[in-house]
Chains A and B, each alone.
Chain A
Amino acid sequence: MSEQSIPAAARHAQPDEEPDPWTEPVPTGLRWTRRWRGVTGLTLLAIGFGLIIEQPGLLLASVFGVAFAAYGRLGAAPSPALEVERAIEVTDPDVGEQIPVTLTVHNDGDGRLRDLRIVDGVPSGLAVASGSPRIATSLPPGESAAVSYELEAARGGHTFDPVVAIVRDASGATERAVEIDAPGTIDCVPSLPAEPPPFPLRPQTTRYTGRTSAAEGGDGVEFHATREYRAGDPLGRIDWKRVARTGDLTTVEYRRERAASVLIVVDARRAAYAAPDPTAATSVDHCVEAARTIAGSLLDDGHSVGLTALSPRPPWLIPGRGVQHRLAIRTALGTHEAFERTPPDRSANVYAAGREIRNRIASDTQVVFVSPMLEEGASQAAHRLDAHGHLTTVVSPDVCVSDTVGQQAAGLARSLRLAGARQRGIPAIDWDPAEPFARALARSQRRWSA
């Protein structure tokens, strides 16, 4: 894998990237291949040469060339009558699972298709793991040909494109390409992790009981403070040793444990997309992976969790709990168009998106902003959300590489953005996707507690 700088890598993920030959569209319709042009020219030369030197053998050989060139003009590629059937062994695979696919093509027409080439419409977001989704064959009427290959499942909802059939006439002088609809979908929705690592939330809680220590005294486990006894305080909370020592009645208060309301905001703007190479996971893929772990961890801890994205096509899940809500978050992270591998066609306005987020969530909701922090817009989004009272935590997968000076500059700028966030009191978790996310979480908590 050749690694590149962030700006260069970002360009890889843009729509004008070099076309992938597996998924590049084939022009349809009838066209001349013009493959016989050279033969006619060569033959003319040979005829002239043969006439000049008056050699019958040469002349005869040249006549053959003309006849064969004319052969290339006989007939045209037939219109194929094909029926295709695609068998997908697993339609809801796990990430990385190999999915066997078999495409069967049946010649329903009356004529033999002497030169038939089939190209299956592999979804652009899936990789061919083994075999080839293409075949070249010859198909008599009533017979079938099958092609088998395996795809490697990747997160998202994937729809197969139409099958392209290319038919040539016997000489190959003309070819006709047709598209044949063969619906097929593969939905790869990764589960939220079963035993996620604890996520360090900030001390902004709701009035509901939960597992996050609030900055207020009351019922709980961890010692918070002592105060003067008030009538009605439970006897068990009175500090009897102090009473014995001084005669004063004091009440012990513990740190209240509350549930938090958290909105996970994934940075999926056009500017946030970057990848070391066209086949590698993008920065948004890593953001979604982190968001999945965070959501699983917070939901397991009894917090209310919501999900949205900075994107022109954002999902909106208001913070909530429960099995249905968990499933909704899992599905959105798996298949929502905001998190597709390809970046959106247009950019999203950070300020407008921030305003909409603030309008939609309660004032005591905190934000976990998951972003590669590749440019200033991401920093500003985090700062503004935090400044408006939604305590924000930044989680940033590091997709920067450092092979060239430009790449090092891009990586340095990202580090400065994270440092700037920390200076403003915003915790920033820097995650290298080469290591497990849990390790980055553990490291960040060690630093904060030190």
Chain B
Amino acid sequence: MSDVTFDDRSPSPGVSATVGVGAIAVVAAAFAGSAVAVAGAGIVLMAVGVQGGRRSLHTIGGVLCFGGVVLAGALGAAPGVALVGAAASVVAWDVGDHAIGLGGQVGRDARARRNVLEHLGISAGAAASVVVISGLSYALARRGNPGAAAGLIGAAVGLFAILLDW
């Protein structure tokens, strides 16, 4: 018999965190206008999806944002920039999805700022680690050791095969 309606939209810090991190992906996709457009559309959809607690819209936005970075990479963007862009798009999606989950469980009116910021910090830290390791591996491979790159791809595919079982 609650008088205060349960608002299952995401807590407001989730929106700003998503847009803030997603903006990095858009900047990374700036190698080509089409890539920026795709990534930008993705950010807008993600923001609207997080704001309204609509997971499907947010996911489409995340795919577009990642797709924009991939497009920039395909069109010849520097590998390092593409790597950072991909990291930003995944982290933006992750933070937005986390906020949508919070909306469903504790609602928009609950205090959630600390939780969102902590999750953002952890995800950003993990992403930064992956970016650094991947970048170093790539740099090593470019210095005349293509075996490292091949090994990296092999490890990635193997890891993915394991993930599929889950």
The residues of B that contact A170 with a CB separation of less than 8 Å are 122, 126
Contact A60 B112 (CB under 8 A): no
Size category of the B interface is 35 or more
With A58-B73, A65-B90, A138-B114 known as contacts, the answer to whether A73 contacts B163 (CB < 8 A) is yes
The answer to whether B140 has its CB under 8 Å from any CB of chain A is: no
Give Cα A71–Cα B128 distance, bound, in whole angstroms. 12
With A38-B59, A166-B105 known as contacts, the answer to whether A152 contacts B3 (CB < 8 A) is yes
The answer to whether A137 has its CB under 8 Å from any CB of chain B is: yes
The answer to whether A49 has its CB under 8 Å from any CB of chain B is: yes
With A58-B74, A66-B160, A117-B115 known as contacts, the answer to whether A22 contacts B2 (CB < 8 A) is yes
A61 to chain B, nearest CB (A): 4
Contact A43 B160 (CB under 8 A): yes
The answer to whether B37 has its CB under 8 Å from any CB of chain A is: no
Give Cα A158–Cα B67 distance, bound, in whole angstroms. 53
Contact B156 A132 (CB under 8 A): no
Contact B3 A128 (CB under 8 A): yes
Give Cα A44–Cα B162 distance, bound, in whole angstroms. 13
Contact partner, A42, options B11, B63, B138, Cβ 8 Å: B63
Give Cα A26–Cα B106 distance, bound, in whole angstroms. 11
Q: Mark B123-139, 1 if CB is under 8 A from A, else 0.
A: 10011001101110010
Contact A278 B1 (CB under 8 A): yes
Contact B90 A64 (CB under 8 A): yes
Contact B3 A62 (CB under 8 A): no
Give Cα A124–Cα B2 distance, bound, in whole angstroms. 8
The answer to whether A95 has its CB under 8 Å from any CB of chain B is: no
Interface residues of A in 132-148 (CB under 8 A from B): 132, 134-138, 147
A167 to chain B, nearest CB (A): 11
Give Cα A279–Cα B106 distance, bound, in whole angstroms. 20
The residues of B that contact A21 with a CB separation of less than 8 Å are 6, 8, 107
Give Cα A118–Cα B81 distance, bound, in whole angstroms. 40
Contact B6 A61 (CB under 8 A): no
Contact A63 B156 (CB under 8 A): yes
Can you name 13 extra interface pairs (CB under 8 A) apart from A136-B11, A170-B122? Answer: A21-B6, A21-B8, A40-B160, A40-B163, A42-B66, A58-B82, A62-B70, A63-B156, A64-B130, A65-B66, A119-B106, A136-B106, A166-B105
Contact A138 B115 (CB under 8 A): yes
With A55-B76, A56-B79 known as contacts, the answer to whether A35 contacts B97 (CB < 8 A) is yes
Contact B4 A127 (CB under 8 A): yes
B83 to chain A, nearest CB (A): 5
- In the complex formed, the residue of B with least CB distance to A125 is B1
Give Cα A49–Cα B67 distance, bound, in whole angstroms. 11
